[in-house]
Structure 1
């Protein structure tokens, strides 16, 4: 048996000004061949599981591409071709099956559906090839993706701590097809007219908690696989939004389960929409708490959804109100890091921190915050994830420094975008997060993977940025309509 394994992942925010080019993939982690096996073989990511399944079956493995970039704007056509060409060449050379670790929300110059286009191209080369696909919970699932693979599945947790579990499940559905031990399963897609907001998709909370429970119940009753994709509303494409996909032993089983799950998701559509709060009032309430750590979420500037990670509005308000013992993770500002490196540890510096990025899609101009502080730490920004999400993965934040302001706030400043889902963002620079009164994180939900066990309380702070949870201020031109809540709809399958 010969298998082609590959990873190609990017969550594209079409409102983000960040260019997602080849260099951005290289800076996060781009590997081929044996280097990819070495990088991911001992992780809990889908590629690590696929490698184990291949060993279990005694299969020969070809791994032409393992590429991922932090979310941002459109993927360039050049970067896309440089990722897909090796995958297509490996399939063209001949194989018995293909196991793919994809995201599901990649938008490329020239195609709204990066994953569906890749799968369609693979199918054109090998029409009968069994293909298994894992996708992120924030996938904007398209008919093209479903129609060009054998079976697919999505993560059931947000933060994504079950990547290995779902990859194993879908692998064990498709590997027997590759081995000729079972027929190909059937799939049923239900595309709901619902534009769910990412901040409302945490799987420990409603509405996703019960949606995932419905999927698990169907699987426990014998369905091979079931997934609910919350979708990614920060993409102005036709197929953005919430979907249900089921994998059944036959079409009737898949259809019945998909209808049951979709109805339950639609019944809770109102709580897929975030309710905004006044920033100053939220910070004032947080200030009243004495027992920490208290989590402060600057969710509108989350680089994990394509934010620039340099909007200073929330940080400025926290400083204005005088909160004490605050650690910030993290601000993207390579120029500030260079200035702190030049000054050296212990030096006092005055910086125009952050605010280097304009966000034209939202009409926002970059607004740096002038701060004077002490350079506390300088590192290379490299560390290994020890928490439950991306376990074993090597993070490369680039040259990193900590600026301490007025003895009240320690700001981790990075040269590469990185969402703080693991405590390593602080521990790697000498900050013990469990002993801070406040942890100000540029994150939405993924922070829970590493920080939820520490939190005494959590506040969502409604600032500004390319990952705003106010979809009403976004200009959608390509999104299919009608769709809730932009339009009033009563019946999901009308």
Structure 2
């Protein structure tokens, strides 16, 4: 048996001004062949699970591409063709199966559905080859994805700490189908619901109950996999939104019934998928009254893990204005500031214009730096290994990194975008987060992987940025309509319209 394994992952924020060229994938990690094997074999990533399955079956395998970039704007043509081309060229050589780790919300300059385009190309090359696909919980699922794979599955956790397990599950389904042990068929439902990622945490309602329904469905005889996709609402494409998919063993009716049950429950809970705002000044003032730390302050509108520029200073400026003390911030993206601090040297006192280097024309905002004075506390190369439950074993490369200490606030400043989902973002620069009174994190939900157990309280801070949870400042032009909450839809029961493979 010869298998082609591959990874091509990007969550595309079409409102983001950040370029997604090939260099951005190289910054986070782009590997092939033996380098890919070494990079992911001992990690809790889907490729690690796929390699394990291949070895269990005594199969040969190749990894022509394993690439991921931090969320940003549409993927440029050269980057996409490098990744998709490498995978397709390997399939051309001949294989018995393809196991892919994709995201599900990749938009390119040429294709609204980057994953569907890749799968269609593979199908054109090898019409009968079995294909397994692992997708992110924030997938914007499309008919093209369904039509061009054998079976797919999504993560059941946000933050995503089950990537290895779901890849192993769907990989086994497809490998078993190759041996005649099962016959995967799929039913799926796309809901007219643009749910917000800040309300998709799987420890919270309504996702907690919906995921429980998916798990209960999987426990029924004949159901091979069931997934609920919250969708990624920062993509202005036709198919953005919430969806459900069920994979059954040869029984489309059974798959459809389970899919409709979960889909109807998701639709009835639609109002709880929408974030309720609080004035920033009020949120920070409320945090100031809390004495038992660490208190987690989420700068969610500038979450680089959803395509934020990571250099908006609105929340940090308000924290400083209100005089909060013993604060650590992770992280501000400002390569120029890091260079200036490196020139000054550790121990030097500097005054810099921090952040605010990026304009955001999609929401009509200009970058606004914050003039700030502090001591250069530490300088590092920004490399460290994740030991927490999300991306376990993966090497993070934040690029040249510095810590600016104002006396009350310590700010981690990085040269490459990175969302703080692991305490290593602080520990790698000598900050012990558990001993801080406040932690300002440019994150939405992924912070929970590393910080949930540390935080004594969590407050969302409504700052500015292209990952805003305020739909009123976003302009959707391609999105299908009507869709909730952009359009008022009062009927609690959706008409059955489950699509099938």
Structure 1 residue 419 displacement after superposition: 0.1
Structure 1 residue 387 displacement after superposition: 0.1
8 Å CA contact retained: 2:335, 2:415: yes
CA distance in 2, matches of 1:177, 1:86: 26
Gapped regions of structure 1 (runs ≥ 5): none
8 Å CA contact retained: 2:173, 2:182: no
Give the equivalent residue in structure 1 for 2:405: 404
1:70-102: CA deviation from partner (whole Å, max 9, x where unpaired)? 000010011000111110011110000000000
After superposing the two structures, state which structure 1 stretch, 484-493 or 337-346, moved more: 484-493
Give the equivalent residue in structure 1 for 2:236: 236
CA distance in 2, matches of 1:198, 1:181: 39
- 1:370-409 maps to which residues of 2 (within 5 A)? 370-405=371-406, 407-409=407-409
1:175 partner SS: helix
CA distance in 1, matches of 2:75, 2:494: 32
Q: How large is the RMSD of aligned CA atoms in angstroms?
A: 0.7
- Runs of 4+ off more than 2 Å: 180-184, 491-494
8 Å CA contact retained: 1:192, 1:493: no
CA distance in 2, matches of 1:343, 1:239: 50
Structure 1 residue 224 displacement after superposition: 0.6
8 Å CA contact retained: 1:150, 1:184: no
2:484 partner SS: coil
1:317-374: CA deviation from partner (whole Å, max 9, x where unpaired)? 0000000000000000000000000000000000000000000000000000000100
1:144-200: CA deviation from partner (whole Å, max 9, x where unpaired)? 00110000000000000000111111111111122x223431100100000000000
Structure 1 residue 493 displacement after superposition: 3.0
8 Å CA contact retained: 1:302, 1:443: yes
8 Å CA contact retained: 1:302, 1:419: yes
1:224 partner SS: strand
- 1:95-494 maps to which residues of 2 (within 5 A)? 95-178=95-178, 180-222=179-221, 223-249=223-249, 250-405=251-406, 407-489=407-489, 490=491, 491-493=493-495
Structure 1 residue 252 displacement after superposition: 1.0
8 Å CA contact retained: 2:355, 2:369: yes
Give the equivalent residue in structure 2 for 1:35: 35
1:411-437: CA deviation from partner (whole Å, max 9, x where unpaired)? 000000000000000000000000000
CA distance in 2, matches of 1:91, 1:360: 41
CA distance in 2, matches of 1:477, 1:469: 18
CA distance in 2, matches of 1:85, 1:11: 19
CA distance in 2, matches of 1:229, 1:42: 27
CA distance in 1, matches of 2:196, 2:83: 29
Q: Tell me how many residue pairs correspond in the alignment.
A: 492
Give the equivalent residue in structure 2 for 1:89: 89
What's the TM-score, normalizing by structure 2?
0.98
8 Å CA contact retained: 1:197, 1:274: yes
Give the equivalent residue in structure 1 for 2:51: 51
8 Å CA contact retained: 1:133, 1:152: yes
CA distance in 1, matches of 2:471, 2:287: 26
2:297 partner SS: strand
What's the TM-score, normalizing by structure 1?
0.99
8 Å CA contact retained: 2:3, 2:97: yes
CA distance in 2, matches of 1:207, 1:404: 40
8 Å CA contact retained: 2:231, 2:241: yes
After superposing the two structures, state which structure 1 stretch, 323-332 or 165-174, moved more: 165-174
CA distance in 1, matches of 2:245, 2:146: 9
CA distance in 2, matches of 1:29, 1:492: 42
CA distance in 2, matches of 1:117, 1:255: 25
8 Å CA contact retained: 1:140, 1:239: yes
1:418-462: CA deviation from partner (whole Å, max 9, x where unpaired)? 000000000000000000000000000000000001000000000
Structure 1 residue 472 displacement after superposition: 2.0
CA distance in 1, matches of 2:124, 2:256: 27
8 Å CA contact retained: 1:4, 1:62: yes
CA distance in 1, matches of 2:30, 2:273: 34
CA distance in 2, matches of 1:114, 1:450: 30
CA distance in 1, matches of 2:230, 2:32: 31
CA distance in 2, matches of 1:393, 1:274: 32
